[in-house]
Structure 1
């Protein structure tokens, strides 16, 4: 292969592998680098979180449930109470049924939990849910994908809301947004 062809091919592959739009906060180490067709951007501040990031699809699929066009939101909250814990200590919590009930309780107040799964990502265990909201505009036609995990630094929540009939086909894409969300130690 000619040298210039190899260089062009390498540049094309590098371009394809780079996310369309990423969010990185150097201070906290939070990064959201979703795969195409998703783009991440700083979101509006929320009182319960230190950082909020929005994720939207450049193609309009999956269809966002909200009128703002955002498929997902990623929120980060520092957790100084975790500073003395190791990641192994935090991960261990998810093996205890009583801790899982504590995690699920707030979601059960406003939604029906349809699926719960523990995942591991970069040595950090978390839990993901798919839920059906019990109230809200067009709640019958909305499904949400929620993922949360904690580190000694803080808590990350990924919350996605799309049209219910698109969830089976879109679940892998929503999980890819979760996998593209990291908190550097």
Structure 2
């Protein structure tokens, strides 16, 4: 199964992705984070934060996911760090799942704009996130240009308590797997 976290910066994608990976510990799980991997590849001096570099890193993540899922189709691959705010990004994600014959769940994280901006300001001030461009300004720019996700998604409000949000996600994933098995 592929679980892709979508949403604007500061909406809780990484927090929820890590919580899901932690909950699934003990079963085959692969957490792939675009921002962390980009930093590992390009560091402080070569990171450009442009669409071309983002797409390159995501392509590498998709290749790693494909390699793992071909070895062990029972792996849950969790994709984090991409907003999926452009239609072509969602199309590529669906193509990956289809190529690998894997169920795909897109989880769109949302929250009140004030919550996202507070999180972004806190993380940027503390330098606690690998993406140095992850600021309120980036949130505003991406929000203004975002294409709506036109395929089914699980929309989760991350203003809700974390345990409630994770519980809703786990219920949805179980349902998605059961539906896949009976198809």
Higher helix share: 2
TM-score of the superposition, structure 2-length normalised?
Answer: 0.27
Name the structure, 1 or 2, with higher relative contact order (CA <8 Å, separation 6+): 2
Report the structure number with the largest CA radius of gyration. 1
Structure with greater proportional strand content: 1
Superposition TM-score, scaled by structure 1 size:
0.27
